[in-house]
Amino acid sequence: MATTNAISFRRLGRSLQPVIRTAADLAAAVELDEVHWVSTAAPIEGLHVDDVLLRWIDTDGNGRIMCWEMRDAVAWLLDVLTDRAGIDQRSTAIRLADINTRTPAGQTIRAAAQKMLRRRGAGDDDFLTLDQIRQIKQQVQASSVSEAGVVLPEAAEQPEIRQFLTDIIIAVDGVPHPSDREGVDQETLGRFMAESTAHLAWLEQGRPPADGKTNDIFPLGDQTAAAYEIVQALRRKLDQYFAQCHAVALDAELAGRMGWTAAELDTLDLDDLAAIDKLLTDAPIARAQATLELAYDSPINPHNEAALEQFRRQVAEPIVGKSATLSAKQWAQIKRFFTAHEAWSAAKATT
């Protein structure tokens, strides 16, 4: 916002202060180098200025007016006006003809001003005062149904409808209402109805069959969900174990490169319970075997021992039968067994 206007100064106490009487003075003053400013920041609470104006200038909301915020505010003001005489006159009114519609902000202001004038029954040649604008704003904020069709929950007389609107806002987020609260518009209602319908269909699809029967989604009947949770709890550990088994089957020497390094063991404090617990948590479920099998009675990581026993009784035995071991093929079979249930469960995130 470069300017060539001369700046007049007057002495106040021991300092010279710029004289600001016109829009041109205002534009020139904010172009002064910051070293000539009395302060480059001022707390809002200490300023005797319209509080609404201060909040608009304080764009970062830190409670302080910074010099760059003043520059931006002045630049914005001069940018949206074609006739700046109102600034010189310290007017609190604005005419449509004074608004610069060549800028996006000016177009928005003019459109809003036209709505307000129509609301007052005035024409485009009339003007709006600040008091009139704030009065209209209060009226709009007080209405529970905005002109844009945004409905606040309290607009409903029936408690059930009021709660329904509240639930919509909680479920899919509302849209801004002039009162700075959230409401529901037609698009929000439509989105809620579509998503809730899809969710109900998902719930119905996932209803376990009665009388101990099974289907693709519930291959173990009403025991499927619990069994699937057990599989998920051990999935990473068992995937890791059988991947290491395949590596050892290919090259037995790779077994010596699995597990903790000498450097890791050297830094391990065996008196630190938390360190030992983390070590076991991160460790494989068992030592990899070239046979591509996991023997249930082999040394098992204590962190996974109980979970593996639960897996054997509630998952492996019902699906692949009783056995002293779990093979890589059986593990792959078990994962395929839950394919439909897994797909149904994953669909919850999108419904």
With bands split at pLDDT 50, 70 and 90, how would you rate the model's confidence at 146? confident
Same structural domain, 342 and 229: yes
Is 212 a domain residue? Answer: no
How many of the other CB atoms lie within 10 Å of CB of 145?
Answer: 12
Same structural domain, 174 and 280: no
List, for residues 181-197, the tens digit of each pLDDT value.
Answer: 999 999 999 999 999 99
Best-predicted range by mean pLDDT among 7-11, 134-138, 173-177? Answer: 173-177
Same structural domain, 227 and 113: no
Of 180, 205, 230, which closes a domain? 205
> Would you call 132 helix, strand, or coil by DSSP?
helix
Of 79, 105, 132, which closes a domain? 79
Is 186 a domain residue? Answer: yes
User: By the 8 A CB rule, do 304 and 285 touch?
Assistant: yes
Average pLDDT value for residue range 265-270: 72
**Tokens representing residue 195 in the block:** 């998503």
pLDDT at residue number 349: 55
For residue 295, is pLDDT > 60? Answer: yes
CA-to-CA separations, 91 to 132, 196, 202, in angstroms, rounded: 14, 53, 61
Average pLDDT value for residue range 114-128: 83
With bands split at pLDDT 50, 70 and 90, how would you rate the model's confidence at 124? low
> Would you call 16 helix, strand, or coil by DSSP?
strand
Give the torsion through C-alpha atoms of 315, 318, 321, 324, to 10 deg. 40
With bands split at pLDDT 50, 70 and 90, how would you rate the model's confidence at 143? confident
Same structural domain, 180 and 261: no
> Would you call 310 helix, strand, or coil by DSSP?
helix
Is 215 a domain residue? Answer: no
Is 86 a domain residue? Answer: no
Residue appearing with tokens 């529901």: 184
With bands split at pLDDT 50, 70 and 90, how would you rate the model's confidence at 100? very high
Is 213 a domain residue? Answer: no
Same structural domain, 158 and 69: no
Sign of CA dihedral 33, 34, 35, 36: positive
Same structural domain, 304 and 346: yes
For residue 4, is pLDDT > 60? Answer: no
130-136, long-range: CB < 8 A, 24+ apart: 130/92, 130/93, 131/92
Pairwise pLDDT comparison (270 vs 311), residue with the higher score:
311
* Angle, in degrees to the nearest 10, between helices 186-205 and 159-172: 80
pLDDT at residue number 1: 47
With bands split at pLDDT 50, 70 and 90, how would you rate the model's confidence at 351? low
User: By the 8 A CB rule, do 288 and 258 touch?
Assistant: yes
Average pLDDT value for residue range 295-318: 95
List, for residues 44-90, the tens digit of each pLDDT value.
Answer: 988 888 898 999 999 999 999 999 999 999 999 999 999 999 999 99
Same structural domain, 15 and 74: yes
User: By the 8 A CB rule, do 29 and 36 touch?
Assistant: no
List, for residues 307-345, the tens digit of each pLDDT value.
Answer: 999 999 999 999 999 999 999 999 999 999 999 999 998
Is 84 a domain residue? Answer: no
Range of the domain at 113: 91-142
Same structural domain, 131 and 227: no
Same structural domain, 240 and 296: yes
Percent of the chain with pLDDT over 70: 95
**Tokens representing residue 323 in the block:** 């056995």
**Tokens representing residue 199 in the block:** 């969710």
With bands split at pLDDT 50, 70 and 90, how would you rate the model's confidence at 3? very low
Same structural domain, 125 and 5: no
Of 102, 118, 142, which closes a domain? 142
- By CB atoms closer than 10 A (0-12, 13-18, 19+), residue 244 is buried
pLDDT at residue number 338: 95
Same structural domain, 245 and 132: no
pLDDT at residue number 269: 72
Average pLDDT value for residue range 29-36: 83
Concatenated DSSP letters of 243-304: HHHHHHHH-GGGGGGSS--HHHHHT--TT-HHHHHHHHHHS-SS---TTSEEETTS---TTT
Cα separation, 14 vs 24, whole angstroms: 26
Q: How many domains does the chain have?
A: 4
Centroid of chain to Cα 57: 26
Centroid of chain to Cα 67: 32
Is 216 a domain residue? Answer: no
Is 117 a domain residue? Answer: yes
0.95 exceeded by pTM: no
Same structural domain, 135 and 160: no
pLDDT at residue number 139: 82
